Amino acid sequence: MKQPTAISVAPLVRVSALLASLSTLLLASVKTFGFELDGTKWFLAQAEYHVDMEGMSATQISWNTAFIEAIEEWNANTVFEFSVVNNNADPCLDNGISSVDFSEDFCGSSFGNNVLAVTVRRFDPQILGPPYIREADIIVNAEEEFDIFDGPLVQFGQNFAGLDFGRVALHELGHVIGLDHEETNNAIMAPNISNLFSLQQDDINGVQALHNGLSNCEIDPLTFGEISEVLNGNDCTVKDLTVGGNDNSFLDLYQFDLDETTQLDFFATSTILDPVLILATTDLQYLDVDIASNDDCDSSLSANLPAGSYFLIVNTFDSPIKEDCGIVGNYRLRTSFTSSSEPSLGSGTSLANAFTTAQFTGGITADNGATYSNQFSPTDSLDISAQIRVDIRHRGAPGFLVVAALLEGQVLMLNADGEFVDVTANPLPAVPFATKTLETFESITIATDLVPADLGIQDIDASIVVGYGLDSNPSEIYYHSTPLSLSVVPDSGAGD
């Protein structure tokens, strides 16, 4: 899945004949509209650029001014963000510094006929997709005659001498960002310099597409506990997500949020699919990967993550690598967590999808509140509780509290006697857990010293939801978007 570190070189020429692009990395292009993308890009769509060139054009504009104006044009019109450092650095050095300067040769070699400038991009591999750009340097041919002006490419008169440097800077900065030469001539990123002197819509669209891969894939909330899913031709591919490369393996993308440092354990099991688990930030900084067990079709991954938003990606391979494990099929994903405080249960919502400021927290503990988790053994003694910060509009109103347990194909509600009642056939009107005047904070004790084995429970997955309603509108229930997950397994460390 990893690709080797590489260098690519893209020249800008002054005539219609395009010089061959030199590259030590062969990448498949993704062609969309007029622009071409191979998926190589900067992390977070931003780069620091060192600019300090000596000299001034015949029109009395410094090369630095024109180059920085080109940077500002990319910044103003695209999602990419350059930051400028006033410093001169050698663009021929592989030093982690992206820079620009004039030179009489291309880092010791000839530029070749009609080459105005060359961008050298250096890459490092990443877990998914093409490598990312870590440095991109521009070498401008000092043997060519340049000036700075807008309008037609050829300017006549005593005040003008040479080709416009500004449009050369715009073009080369497009390569720095990750754009290749475009098939259309109606773009700054066309392979030949022309009368165009500003960014065109095709250039702008290219940058947008390069950094918009997440919109190509469906993102599902991660449900703690166990879920059953499938990878097949209906799913997003790595190529869709990373906008380039040639990895057509399928993936499912799950998002989750953490309010504090949390220990997480992920298990993907299947009898036919070869799963790959990948952990990433929501801006696709890849944190860890597990490419599956050597003995079966299962995969596992553990991490201790600080507060933040993350993706769990369930991926597979382009072609089978194990005799008994394929690249399409069903899988089960079990996720468990351990934290030191009760987690947030997501944003508030309602049965009618009404706006609400209600907030919910809740958790399950087997050690009197020292830690909270969602996965336990049958012999653990569990305390289950939740808290509601009632919407300010509903405080002081007559209402009721509800507790629901959702099992596969079954809905149970906790009544005022502390008993779960099966309401699968008729979930509304809701069975109240308590009837009262709603206060600012409502605390609900769902269970105390509950030992699953004492109830004959050895293996179960349940989602618990708490909420409240108003007597004035009893069919409208306000609750949390993330269920409180309870998994009981024979061995809390097992993935099946």
> Do 205 and 218 sit in the same domain of this protein?
no
Kindly state the DSSP code that residue 342 receives in the 8-state scheme: P
> Do 194 and 158 sit in the same domain of this protein?
yes
Q: Which H or E run contains 401?
A: strand 398-407
Q: Which H or E run contains 209?
A: helix 201-210
Cα(341)–Cα(369) distance, rounded to whole angstroms? 7
**pLDDT at position 119 over 50:** yes
| Burial 430-469, CB ≥16 within 10 A → b, else e | bbbbeeeebeeebebebbeebebeeeeeeebbbbbbbbbb
For residue range 48-80, list pLDDT tens digits in order: 999 999 999 988 999 999 999 999 999 999 999
* Any domain includes 291: yes
**pLDDT at position 6 over 80:** no
Q: How confident is the model at residue 250 (pLDDT cuts 50, 70, 90)?
A: very high
Highest mean pLDDT (candidates 10-24, 159-173, 387-401): 387-401
Cα(326)–Cα(321) distance, rounded to whole angstroms? 8
pLDDT at 22: 27
> Do 174 and 291 sit in the same domain of this protein?
no
Cα(275)–Cα(254) distance, rounded to whole angstroms? 14
Q: How confident is the model at residue 23 (pLDDT cuts 50, 70, 90)?
A: very low
| Burial 22-60, CB ≥16 within 10 A → b, else e | eeebebeebeeebbbbbbbbbeebebebbbbbeeebbee
Cα(399)–Cα(301) distance, rounded to whole angstroms? 44
If you average pLDDT over residues 446-471, what whole number do you get?
A: 95
Residue-by-residue DSSP string for 276-333: EEEEEETT--EEEEE---SSSS-EEEEEEE-SEEEEEEEE--SS--BTTBBSSEEEEE
Instruction: Give me the phi and psi of 85, to 5 degrees please.
Output: -115, 125
Burial classification of residue 218, based on how many CB atoms lie within 10 Å of its CB (0-12 exposed, 13-18 middle, 19 or more buried): exposed
Q: How confident is the model at residue 158 (pLDDT cuts 50, 70, 90)?
A: low
> Do 99 and 195 sit in the same domain of this protein?
yes
What percent of the chain is modeled with pLDDT above 70? 89
pLDDT at 223: 87
Cα(472)–Cα(477) distance, rounded to whole angstroms? 12
**Inter-residue contact 375 to 350 (CB < 8 Å):** no
pLDDT at 162: 81
* Any domain includes 467: yes
Q: Which of 298, 317, 339 is the last residue of a domain?
A: 339
Cα(28)–Cα(31) distance, rounded to whole angstroms? 10
> Do 105 and 156 sit in the same domain of this protein?
yes
Q: Which residues pair with 122 in a beta bridge?
A: 7, 135
Which carries the bigger pLDDT value, residue 152 or residue 66? 66
Task: Give long-range contacts, CB 8 A cutoff, 24+ apart: 353-357.
Answer: 354/476, 354/478, 356/391, 356/478, 357/391, 357/392
For residue range 428-454, list pLDDT tens digits in order: 899 999 999 999 999 999 999 999 999
Least confident of 26-30, 137-141, 223-227: 26-30
The amino acid that residue 90 corresponds to is D
> Do 188 and 240 sit in the same domain of this protein?
no
If you average pLDDT over residues 286-294, what whole number do you get?
A: 83
Q: For the domain that residue 476 is a member of, what is the CATH number?
A: 2.70.50
pLDDT at 45: 93
pLDDT at 258: 92
Q: Which of 320, 339, 358 is the last residue of a domain?
A: 339
Q: For the domain that residue 218 is a member of, what is the CATH number?
A: 2.60.120.380
Nearest to 174 by CA among 5, 10, 13: 10
Those residues with Cβ within 8 angstroms of residue 455's Cβ, 6 or more apart along the chain or in another chain: none
Nearest to 256 by CA among 300, 219, 217, 218: 219
Place of tokens 């591999």: 125
Q: Which domain holds residue 330?
A: 214-339
What percent of the chain is modeled with pLDDT above 90? 74
Q: For the domain that residue 141 is a member of, what is the CATH number?
A: 3.40.390.10
* Any domain includes 362: yes
If you average pLDDT over residues 371-392, what whole number do you get?
A: 96
Q: Which residues pair with 451 in a beta bridge?
A: none
* Any domain includes 494: no
**pLDDT at position 112 over 90:** no
Burial classification of residue 234, based on how many CB atoms lie within 10 Å of its CB (0-12 exposed, 13-18 middle, 19 or more buried): exposed
> Do 263 and 147 sit in the same domain of this protein?
no
Residues in the chain: 496
Average pLDDT, whole number, for the chain?
88
Q: Which H or E run contains 204?
A: helix 201-210
* Any domain includes 2: no
**pLDDT at position 340 over 70:** yes
For residue range 167-182, list pLDDT tens digits in order: 999 999 999 999 998 8
**Inter-residue contact 140 to 101 (CB < 8 Å):** yes
* Any domain includes 1: no
Q: How confident is the model at residue 414 (pLDDT cuts 50, 70, 90)?
A: very high
Count the domains in the chain: 3
pLDDT at 7: 56
> Do 175 and 239 sit in the same domain of this protein?
no
> Do 149 and 227 sit in the same domain of this protein?
no
Which carries the bigger pLDDT value, residue 246 or residue 305? 305
If you average pLDDT over residues 204-220, what whole number do you get?
A: 94
If you average pLDDT over residues 113-136, what whole number do you get?
A: 91
* Any domain includes 17: yes
> Do 40 and 67 sit in the same domain of this protein?
yes
Q: Which of 211, 228, 259 is the last residue of a domain?
A: 211
pLDDT at 494: 40
> Do 99 and 53 sit in the same domain of this protein?
yes
Cα(105)–Cα(141) distance, rounded to whole angstroms? 7
* Any domain includes 495: no
> Do 41 and 147 sit in the same domain of this protein?
yes
